[in-house]
């Protein structure tokens, strides 16, 4: 606590030296009722799962009960989780706009040159914290996996921490910041990446299929204007010793004002060694042995759990390359109607630097189980797409209605289900799953900075494959399985919220 106060005091002192320093923020909270949802974690209640199709296997349900990691098979011995399907009432955080607070400053250096900084952190209003889904995923015993906003990782400034220069040449910013995908999608998504939007919730559409990589550390962003076009180039260094390509990102985005009413956005990105995390199985502390936590490689029956004297929270990590293409735009149809539409496609393949990825044993202070690292997850590449259209209609200057339709597809592929680091893994075929998602929100402005809203959504997910089933080591599965534990289900959401900014 003392170190945190000293750090904040240092930031304040730095800000005092700038000619222009601003403290700002957004607080968005809504009383929400969601059907077919995962639990709202009692320790982090704002993490209500508003989109069940993106939940981890059995969001809010421990699918690994009585199991530990099986080193021989290369995966945890467990059924694919059974998705939670009960109604949950809780306070949702950031349905229309992600809650956050931040400080930004600018100093005029003369001759058109300015120095800038931004420090921004997410807020979980319902829990009084900043989100940290990594810790939720690592805490096996909590049984609360995948129910949070995994786009933020619990750092002090988990949305942005940058410093840069701006002038006639454009602007350069370095540090931890959103990638080019986010900047592109925010301009074309009818709900501007709010939590009620599939493109905003979990943010895997911005992170190449992983919500953990939509923000990138060790990154450089350059923005400039070229006539009617705004151009952005993004590069993130992986920071892996001896392997410059591992974990790197590169992205390019351009936004063209084609006509006074029509704006077009085009973006593409490549992520090397993208990573997604899940809860890793517990490791066993042998009370009769040396006292070191270690993987036994066998399943522990429930009756024997009394012999477990401790566990080490850890993550399971899956690495892959991700290529993303984005196209969309906005059209001012009339003075009070703005239309938006877009299309995103992501292709995932095996990582370029698997040997380097296998040596990464920690992420943001949370250990990664070294036996739960998968570096060859795909027997065939996987492609996922989403298309959407919607708009905002101003009923009056202070009353607004936003509605949108999203259609997403998780493309069929073959996964290396067991032995994902070996030359002869066990494979499993997965079917294509498609979902249709409708969302609407009525917003009434109480002032320029505060409004109240009513929001609702409906989602249906098809069920072409088989449901929850065991993947058995040594036996490749040729019957297509579903990619989501929510296949064949529907989900509804209704919420009443308040949003204010400062």
CATH of the domain at 260: 2.40.160.10
- Mean of pLDDT over the chain: 80
Asked if the structure places residue 221 within a domain, the reply is yes
Q: Are 33 and 77 in contact (CB under 8 A)?
A: no
pLDDT band at 255 (very low <50, low <70, confident <90, very high): very high
How many Å apart are CA 162 and CA 166, to the nearest integer? 13
Asked if residue 11 belongs to a domain, the reply is no
Q: Does the residue 124 lie in any domain?
A: yes
Asked if residue 269 belongs to a domain, the reply is yes
pLDDT at 436: 94
Average pLDDT rounded to a whole number, residues 459-476: 77
Q: Which structural domain range is residue 30 located in?
A: 19-105+117-501
* 457 within domain boundaries: yes
* Residue 260 buriedness (CB in 10 A; 0-12 / 13-18 / 19+): exposed
Counting the structural domains of the chain, the total is 1
> Which pLDDT does position 60 carry in this prediction?
29
Q: What tokens were used for 281?
A: 């199985």
The whole-angstrom separation of Cα 5 and Cα 29 is 27
Burial 49-77 (b: 16+ CB within 10 A, else e): bbbbbbbbbbbbbbbbeebbbbeebbbbb
- Give the pLDDT confidence score for residue 112 in this predicted structure: 93
Q: Is the pLDDT of residue 130 over 90?
A: no
Q: Is residue 8 part of a domain?
A: no
d(CA 30, CA 494): 9
Cα gap 148→211, rounded to integer Å: 11
On whether residue 7 sits in a domain, the answer given is no
Predicted structure pTM score: 0.85
Portion of the chain with pLDDT greater than 70, in percent: 75
The rounded radius of gyration (Å) of the Cα atoms in the chain is 23
Residue 110 lies in a domain: no
* Residue-level pLDDT at 468: 58
Q: Is the pLDDT of residue 76 over 80?
A: no
Least trusted range by pLDDT, from 55-59, 85-89, 128-132, 177-181 = 55-59
Q: Report the distance separating Cα 366 and Cα 370, nearest Å.
A: 12
With residue 357 as reference, give the H or E element that holds it.
helix 354-357
More confident residue, 278 or 67: 278
Residue 61 clears pLDDT 50, i.e. is over it = no
Beta strands 160-167; 113-122: pairing state: antiparallel
């Amino acid at each position: 606590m003392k170190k945190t106060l000293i750090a904040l005091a240092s930031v304040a002192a730095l800000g005092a030296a700038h000619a222009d320093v601003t403290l700002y923020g957004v607080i968005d909270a809504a009383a929400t009722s969601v059907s077919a949802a995962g639990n709202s974690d009692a320790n982090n209640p704002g993490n209500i799962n508003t989109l069940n199709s993106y939940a981890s296997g059995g969001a809010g349900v421990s699918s690994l009960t009585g199991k530990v990691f099986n080193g021989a098979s290369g995966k945890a011995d467990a059924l694919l989780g059974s998705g939670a399907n009960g109604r949950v009432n809780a306070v949702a955080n950031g349905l229309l706009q992600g809650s956050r607070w931040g400080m930004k400053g600018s100093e005029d250096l003369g001759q058109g040159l300015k120095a800038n900084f931004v420090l921004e952190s997410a807020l979980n209003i319902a829990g009084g914290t900043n989100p940290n889904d990594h810790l939720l995923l690592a805490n096996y015993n909590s049984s609360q996996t995948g129910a949070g906003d995994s786009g933020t990782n619990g750092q002090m400034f988990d949305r942005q921490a940058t410093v840069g220069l701006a002038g006639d040449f454009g602007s350069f910013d370095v540090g931890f910041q959103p990638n080019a995908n986010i900047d592109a999608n925010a301009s074309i998504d009818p709900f501007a990446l709010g939590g009620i939007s599939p493109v905003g919730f979990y943010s895997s559409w911005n992170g190449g299929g992983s919500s953990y990589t939509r923000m990138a550390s060790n990154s450089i962003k350059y923005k400039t204007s070229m006539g009617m076009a705004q151009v952005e180039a993004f590069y993130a260094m992986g920071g892996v010793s001896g392997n410059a390509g591992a974990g790197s990102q590169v992205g390019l985005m351009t936004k063209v004002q084609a006509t006074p009413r029509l704006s077009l956005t085009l973006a593409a990105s490549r992520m090397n060694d993208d990573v997604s995390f899940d809860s890793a199985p517990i490791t066993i502390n042998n009370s009769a042995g040396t006292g070191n936590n270690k993987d036994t490689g066998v399943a522990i029956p429930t009756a024997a759990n009394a012999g477990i004297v401790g566990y080490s929270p850890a993550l399971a990590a899956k690495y892959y390359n991700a290529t993303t293409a984005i196209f969309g735009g906005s059209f001012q149809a009339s003075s009070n109607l703005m239309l938006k539409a877009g299309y995103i496609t992501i292709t995932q393949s095996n990582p370029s630097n698997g040997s380097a990825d296998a040596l990464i044993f920690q992420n943001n202070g949370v250990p990664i189980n070294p036996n739960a690292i998968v570096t060859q997850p795909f027997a065939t590449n996987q492609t996922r797409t989403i298309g959407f259209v919607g708009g905002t209609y101003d009923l009056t200057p202070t009353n607004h209605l936003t509605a949108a339709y999203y259609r997403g597809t998780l493309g069929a592929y073959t996964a290396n289900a067991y032995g994902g680091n070996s030359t002869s893994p066990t494979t499993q075929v997965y079917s294509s799953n498609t979902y249709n998602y409708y969302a609407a929100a009525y917003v009434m402005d109480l002032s320029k900075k505060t409004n109240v809203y009513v929001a609702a959504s409906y989602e249906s997910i098809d069920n072409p494959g088989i449901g929850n089933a065991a993947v058995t080591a040594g036996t490749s599965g040729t019957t297509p399985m579903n990619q989501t534990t929510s296949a064949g289900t529907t989900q509804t959401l209704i919420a009443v919220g308040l949003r204010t900014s400062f």
